[in-house]
């Protein structure tokens, strides 16, 4: 018996144990511990009957090779769902999932604090195809927003940049009473810190470019369906749209899964230390991080999440743009860049006045989103304090 062969039923084990074993079957690969990268467009058969058998697991590379299935199985297990589709980006996992459950004439409710590029997709493509797109803010009364043709409620919790936590169980309860499909962007939690299917959400998707990849190298996404009923349209949409992920990226995503809990733990610890080191700085008007006890979303975070990651935002007291640029540019350890979830610290300026409509953004100060990496927190604190002092 080799490796995971002994773990036929993994469900009785703790989650970190399962993360070591899921998505690999060494017995199928001569004992090789990691599933090999299978690069193949063509899958060969020795008979017409075998090729034409509807039960054939592999038919064509775009529909998945063995490593694709290993990853999709791993993600279904991690999230506690029925089936998954691997996508070439998080954005693609999102657009595929929305297209799977929407049609012309439908109404869709979209969280206002969503990942901004998805807003373009909704306002441009979905609207062009005759879908009525409406944004809601995290704590709105959704019952009042429902229409007879509401087909999907799309959540992202915590929201991008401001990290509002939605009351997912309450939203799902409402959606179920009206047969509305619920979709959530679970990137912040990596499918690990939060379990949408425990609360009845239908589709949980994420960008694997963030904490699953974890090393600032891959762009990839995944969408997991809670049950067969929701998996079928999701899989059909992926196949129809030609959505597929490359085997090399999938290999790195599977590798990232093994150490993700460690990285989350360290990210939370480092971020709390950094926040502690800068929270009383007078250049800061407000910090946004749900694990902070005085964050307005703290109670919901504590109720639903088992940890936090390394992303927070700081609203800088209103000051000149030039002064903020000078302060940011003076940072030695925290360069400007998109994304988060890698090993290195980063910051990204936020222009939320452009990306909020249900709940317009009226703050005048600069909003900076930070990702805290695996550096020594004391070094980051010294760097940040030095930059913030320039704003006084
Ligand atoms: C980055 C991100 C995405 C998009 O992921 P890509 O892999 O870059 O396409 C989607 N949702 C959230 C919350 C993100 O942060």
Q: For residue range 283-332, what is the model confidence (pLDDT) as tens digits?
A: 999 999 999 999 999 999 999 999 999 999 999 998 899 999 999 999 99
Bridge-partner residues for 287, per DSSP? 314
- Does 155 reside within a domain? no
Mean pLDDT over 115-140 rounds to 97
Q: Is the pLDDT of residue 4 over 80?
A: no
Overall number of domains in the chain: 1
- Does 355 reside within a domain? yes
CATH code assigned at 382: 3.90.1150.10
Mean pLDDT of the chain: 96
pTM, two decimal places: 0.97
- Distance from the Cα of residue 372 to its chain's centroid: 17
Q: Would you place residue 7 in the very low, low, confident or very high pLDDT band (cuts 50, 70, 90)? A: low
Q: Is 187 in the pocket of ligand 1 (CB under 6 A)?
A: yes
Task: Please name which of 302, 282, 306 lies closest in space to residue 294, comparing C-alpha atoms.
Answer: 302
Q: Is the pLDDT of residue 175 over 90?
A: yes
Q: Is 209 in the pocket of ligand 1 (CB under 6 A)?
A: yes
Q: Give CA torsion, residues 194, 195, 198, 201, to 10 deg.
A: 110
Q: Is the pLDDT of residue 385 over 60?
A: yes
- Does 241 reside within a domain? no
Per the structure, the complete domain to which residue 339 belongs is given by 260-389
Q: Is 91 in the pocket of ligand 1 (CB under 6 A)?
A: yes
Measure 342 CA to ligand 1 centroid, in angstroms.
13
**Which positions are catalytic?**
62, 115, 185, 210
Q: Is 221 in the pocket of ligand 1 (CB under 6 A)?
A: yes
- Does 160 reside within a domain? no
State pLDDT tens for residues 263-294.
999 999 999 999 999 999 999 999 999 999 99
Q: Is the pLDDT of residue 226 over 50?
A: yes
- Does 361 reside within a domain? yes
Tokens of 142: 């959704």
State pLDDT tens for residues 252-266.
999 999 999 999 999
CA–CA dist 359, 378 (Å, integer): 36
Residue nearest ligand 1's atom 11 by CA:
115
- Does 267 reside within a domain? yes
Mean pLDDT over 326-343 rounds to 98
Q: How many CB atoms lie within 10 A of CB 263?
A: 23
Residue nearest ligand 1's atom 6 by CA:
90
- Does 277 reside within a domain? yes
- Distance from the Cα of residue 189 to its chain's centroid: 7
- Distance from the Cα of residue 11 to its chain's centroid: 24
pLDDT of residue 289: 98
pLDDT of residue 319: 87
Share of the chain above pLDDT 90, in %: 96
DSSP H/E element including 153: strand 150-156
Q: Would you place residue 8 in the very low, low, confident or very high pLDDT band (cuts 50, 70, 90)? A: low
Q: Would you place residue 10 in the very low, low, confident or very high pLDDT band (cuts 50, 70, 90)? A: low
- Could you tell which of 157, 187, 252 is best to mutate to test the pocket of ligand 1, judged by most ligand atoms within 8 Å of the CB? 187
- Does 59 reside within a domain? no
Contact 5, 27 (CB under 8 A): yes
Measure 241 CA to ligand 1 centroid, in angstroms.
19
Mean pLDDT over 202-228 rounds to 98
Q: Is the pLDDT of residue 2 over 90?
A: no
């Amino acid at each position: 018996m080799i490796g995971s062969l002994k773990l036929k039923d993994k469900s009785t084990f703790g989650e970190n144990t399962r993360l070591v074993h899921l998505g690999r079957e060494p017995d199928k690969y001569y004992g090789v511990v990691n599933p090999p990268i299978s690069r193949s467009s063509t899958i060969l058969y020795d008979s017409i009957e075998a090729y034409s058998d509807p039960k054939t697991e592999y038919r064509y590379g775009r529909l998945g090779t063995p490593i694709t299935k290993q990853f999709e199985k791993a993600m279904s297990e991690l999230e506690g769902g029925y089936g998954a589709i691997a996508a070439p980006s998080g954005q693609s996992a999102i657009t595929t999932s929305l297209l799977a459950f929407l049609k012309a004439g439908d109404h869709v409710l979209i969280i206002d604090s969503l990942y901004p590029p998805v807003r373009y997709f909704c306002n441009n493509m979905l609207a062009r195809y005759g879908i009525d797109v409406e944004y809601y803010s995290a704590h709105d009364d959704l019952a009042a927003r429902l229409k007879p043709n509401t087909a999907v409620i799309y959540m992202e919790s915590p929201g991008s940049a401001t990290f509002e936590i939605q009351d997912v169980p309450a939203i799902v309860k409402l959606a179920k009473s009206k047969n509305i499909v619920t979709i959530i962007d679970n990137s912040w939690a990596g499918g690990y810190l939060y379990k949408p299917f425990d609360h009845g959400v239908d589709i949980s998707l994420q960008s694997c470019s963030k904490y699953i990849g974890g090393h600032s190298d891959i762009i990839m996404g995944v969408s997991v369906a809670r049950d067969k009923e929701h998996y079928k349209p999701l899989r059909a949409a992926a196949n129809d749209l030609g959505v597929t992920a490359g085997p090399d990226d999938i290999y790195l995503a599977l590798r990232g899964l093994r150490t993700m809990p460690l990285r989350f733990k360290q990210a939370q610890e480092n971020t709390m230390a950094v926040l502690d080191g800068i929270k009383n700085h007078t250049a800061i008007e407000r910090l946004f991080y749900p694990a902070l006890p005085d964050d307005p979303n703290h109670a919901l975070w504590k109720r639903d999440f088992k940890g936090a990651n390394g992303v927070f935002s700081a609203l800088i007291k209103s000051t000149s743009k030039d002064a903020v640029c000078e302060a940011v540019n003076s940072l030695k350890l925290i360069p400007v860049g998109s994304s988060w979830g890698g090993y290195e610290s980063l910051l990204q300026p936020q222009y939320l006045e452009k990306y909020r409509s249900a709940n317009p953004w009226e703050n005048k100060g600069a909003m900076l989103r930070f990702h805290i990496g695996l550096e020594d927190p004391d070094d980051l604190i010294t760097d940040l304090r030095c930059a913030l002092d320039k704003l006084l």
